Structure 1
């Protein structure tokens, strides 16, 4: 998308380009009908970068003025927040005046150097430009890979107890809302970052919504305790121990008890449709390379039926080929949809060396799914 898409000219005979304020302001409330948010963010970043560099050097070639540059800044921030890159922190809001770039550079020793002013704009907008270029590259690569289709919208996890009842509050925009039993799960709806979902991002979400007065470490402890009630304790403890290591907060978050599918009906209601098999997964990782990784710990109930106790009170299980066939059929469907699935037998994790087995697995998994290098 070219920056001039935001402008219109009057008669085409040398009249200056005029910002389409209505178009730019509409970007604050949702994506453009004609362009992706990524294309818009790149174009607005380039527009702001070029105009402020022009103002700080020879003063020529600007498209914006003091009246409309704040409009572009607000739209730019809104689009970036939808995409997830951190918006720039502007120390000024206009070109001239008390809150202008000129006042800022004079107050910060840049009056005699065009290069210093260029460096200032690079420091403000450079990280945004680089993040958008990374995202653009990932989008390009995604078109030629077989990763999951669709976009991230919400995550219902840490499910424990009665199944939550969900409605589509806005069926056009696919906005889901839990109307009953919201206390039996957690719901993450923040934008997904360029490189998956990290523990730090999960903690920031928890801090904002559940412990606003806590520092990061305290909030992390509170979030971990809320997740530490799942049956697969060993998997959770082994992986989460990495959060305490150097750089651990920037590892992908291990998300337990995730609703990967959702059938609104239940067995108890007598109305379950059985259209979706095995709706809840043990663990999900949203990796830096945009892979979606499902980890399952299989007890005997996954492939067998419990028999009544014998005369000695001993309980046995009988293998049920139908249950096994349903499990592997669902695995095939998920793999074809672009998910990776890893299964552990409960027996191998309870045997001696189970923790070491998991630690080695997670080391290999994280190495395999690192953030792509430019």
Structure 2
């Protein structure tokens, strides 16, 4: 939740802001729709901290005034109490006046030190911010516990030739070994961070191990793609890497052959073989979600017929193929993965790039890790 949500008008930090007093008053009785008390408490803490620090230093960037800051403090206290957290003790309630911050710092020998005034606000709000951070981490852990358990051990991806042959070398330690076509794929060997895998981290791994730059990594990943719809998806997403903060976006990992928690099938001749041995794309998001993106061509739901007299190949619907695909989707979802599917047809039709752009904008907004 952004601080801007508490204001009814204003265009950026430099413009006049008008506090939505009615909204602030309502926070004493519960959070607004689609928000949680934790989100509200974090945003109110940020607002109070920023405004009092601004008033105690250069006086710029303040959003509140002496009339409405007590209203915010009351709402802040109520929200913290609902979270079972101890509200901060304020030795002042306004910026100026007899009970203001200015009087307080003059009475406590802080006249000549901006740092002393910052330290004062930190002593008041620091414990609250730390407690909220702890609650935030608990929320992430609780959410993560509903997803795939354990930790990633192996990430094998982006084969641009023959399919790698993988065996379980040590069942106790879950160590795998590529015994065939190891040169066609990439193996991420660095520890996988708990809060996702960014493009910056992927590039650092690539540079350290292959001594090539980010452009070379992108070209290598692109070569592993099978179809124009997959290529369009990667081009559309990876264009974001060039934007401000783009290197810290989740890395789009194509053609993942092996990741944590493989799903097996059992049949007379193929006991233990994977139905889905390769994911089209994988994102390890900063909120610890594991997101699978599939681009479905006709091979996902139909079998080819012999070419006709003109050499054209048609397909016949294969219910068994479709049933196997959706069965694997169910298993992944029940294990906590998110799965999104695109039909190859919709991406090759006019407007395919716009579909992808809008999708990734919403997806990344949903899975970002908010900062205090």
Q: Select 1:307's aligned residue among 291, 297, 305.
A: 305
For residues 167 and 344 of structure 1, the distance between their equivalents in structure 2, rounded to whole angstroms, comes to: 31
CA deviation after TM superposition for structure 1 residue 191, in Å:
1.6
Distance 1:364 1:285, change over 3 A: same
Within 5 Å, which residues of 2 pair with 1:331-370? 331-370=329-368
Contact 1:254 1:284 in 2 (8 A): yes
State the 1:301 CA deviation: 0.6
**Alpha-carbon distance, 1:271 to partner:** 6.0
Change (3 A) 1:135 1:279: farther
Q: Where does structure 1 lack aligned partners over 5 or more consecutive residues?
A: 1-114, 120-129
| Paired residue secondary structure (1:343) | strand
Equivalent residue, structure 1, for 2:325: 327
TM-score of the superposed pair, with normalisation by structure 1: 0.58
User: Mapping of 1:148-187 within 5 angstroms?
Assistant: 148-187=148-187
Map of 2:288 onto structure 1:
290
Q: Is the 8 A contact 1:154 1:190 kept in 2?
A: no
**In the aligned structure 1, how far is the partner of 2:153 from the partner of 2:235?**
28
2:236 corresponds to 1:238: yes
Partner of 1:147: 147
Displacement, 1:263? 9.0
The residue that corresponds to 2:78 in the other structure is: none
1:153/1:189 contact within 8 Å kept: no
- 1:98-109 alignment to 2 at 5 Å? none
Aligned counterpart in structure 1 of residue 216 of structure 2, from 198, 215, 222: 222
1:135/1:202 CA distance change after superposition, 3 Å:
farther
Equivalent position of 1:47 in the other structure: none
**Unaligned runs of at least 5 residues, structure 2:** 1-114, 120-129
Deviations 1:113-155 (A, max 9, x none): xx99xx9xxxxxxxxxx8xx96995466323552221111121
Moved more, 193-202 or 286-295: 193-202
Provide the C-alpha distance between the structure 2 equivalents of 1:260 and 1:326, rounded to a whole number of angstroms: 19
Distance 1:173 1:355 in 2: 43
Cα distance in 1 between the residues matched to 2:263 and 2:288: 26
Q: What TM-score comes out, normalization by structure 2 length?
A: 0.58
CA displacement at 1:203 relative to structure 2 = 0.3
RMSD over equivalenced CA pairs, Å: 3.2
In 2, the alpha carbon distance for the partners of 1:207 and 1:371 equals 26
Q: Is the 8 A contact 1:255 1:283 kept in 2?
A: yes
SS in 1 for 2:163: coil
1:166-223 CA-to-partner distances (Å, cap 9, x unmatched) read 3344432222222321111101131222420000000000011111xx5xxxx11111
Tell me the residue number matched to 2:51: none
C-alpha contact 2:279 2:293 (8 A) present in aligned 1:
yes
Contact 1:263/1:272 (8 A) holds in 2? no
Cα distance in 2 for partners of 1:316, 1:186 equals 34
Structure 1 distance, partners of 2:158, 2:291, is 16
* Mapping for residues 74-113 of structure 1, pairs under 5 Å: none
Do 1:165 and 1:264's aligned partners in 2 also have CA atoms closer than 8 Å? no
2:200 is paired with a residue whose SS is helix
Tell me the SS of whatever aligns to 1:143.
Answer: helix
C-alpha distance in 1, partners of 2:135/2:177? 31
Quick check: 167-176 or 153-162, which moved more? 167-176
Displacement, 1:250?
0.2
